[in-house]
Structure 1
């Protein structure tokens, strides 16, 4: 399954990139399930992020490795690849893109590909995953500034 969400913000790419840190990560976590950050190295190639998801009656571990990070004239991106996933996910690939906008702002793109163990559950989980990441849009705008209209 593929999710692609774009959020326009006012700050330039370099400032937005500087803000991609543990504080932002904590703010982007949705209210459910609560997330305990076990390890957060950062957003550079080789970094590791380990999470513990608390579903009240059980917990699940999630580990992602940052497998790529590049900076070009037009964008900065990094890719987190799930290596240890909750039971309901079989595959996770999330490309975080910060695209330079002609207005001087940035387009933040969450480009996510995921699979569950079964095709049917891919479709059942899709709206939940979409909502988890759509939740980030107003947070990005609050932190990095809403674009001028």
Structure 2
């Protein structure tokens, strides 16, 4: 399953890129499922993130490796995390974080997510849950990086 979710913020891409810290990672966490951050190296190639999901006797580890990061000629900053150890039913996880220059200023944060389970029907069944987990981030991004300024529409005043 693959989807894109975009959020426009006021800060420029390089500032947003520098803002992807442990503190932002914790702020972006949805209330469910409960999790504990075990390790956060950062967002550069070779860095790792380790989580423990769940509570009580039902706990699962999730480890991700940052497999790529950089800046494109157009000013887009990016990093990619890929699941190494995933909780069932997930079997594959690749999350590209793109911070693209937005027309008129600011940044378009793009969550480019691909995941798979063993069954396509289960991928589809999980889609609304995964989408909500990432839609949760939109107002948080805007608090951290600024609400984009509304652009005027129509003719310019004379």
TM-score higher than 0.5 here? yes
Shift of 1:144: 0.6
Please give the residue correspondences for 1:70-109 in structure 2 after superposition, counting only pairs within 5 Å: 70-74=70-74, 75-109=76-110
DSSP 3-state at the match of 2:118: coil
Whether 1:117 aligns to 2:118 is: yes
Partner of 1:43: 43
Residues 121 and 57 of structure 1, relative CA distance in 2, 3 Å threshold: farther
DSSP 3-state at the match of 1:77: strand
What is the number of equivalent residue pairs in this alignment? 149
Shift of 1:120: 1.5
DSSP 3-state at the match of 2:52: strand
Highest Rg: 1 or 2?
2
**Residues 96-124 of structure 1: per-residue CA shift (max 9 Å, x gap):** 00001232200000000000121121111
DSSP 3-state at the match of 2:149: coil
TM-score (ref. length: structure 1):
0.96
**Residues 52-89 of structure 1: per-residue CA shift (max 9 Å, x gap):** 01155511100000000011232000000101000110
Partner of 1:27: 27
Counterpart Cα distance in 2 of 1:15 and 1:67:
21
Counterpart Cα distance in 2 of 1:57 and 1:4:
34
Counterpart Cα distance in 2 of 1:79 and 1:55:
28
What runs of 5+ residues in structure 2 fail to find an aligned partner?
151-158
DSSP 3-state at the match of 2:126: helix
What runs of 5+ residues in structure 1 fail to find an aligned partner?
none
Please give the residue correspondences for 1:44-63 in structure 2 after superposition, counting only pairs within 5 Å: 44-55=44-55, 57-63=57-63
Partner of 1:137: 138
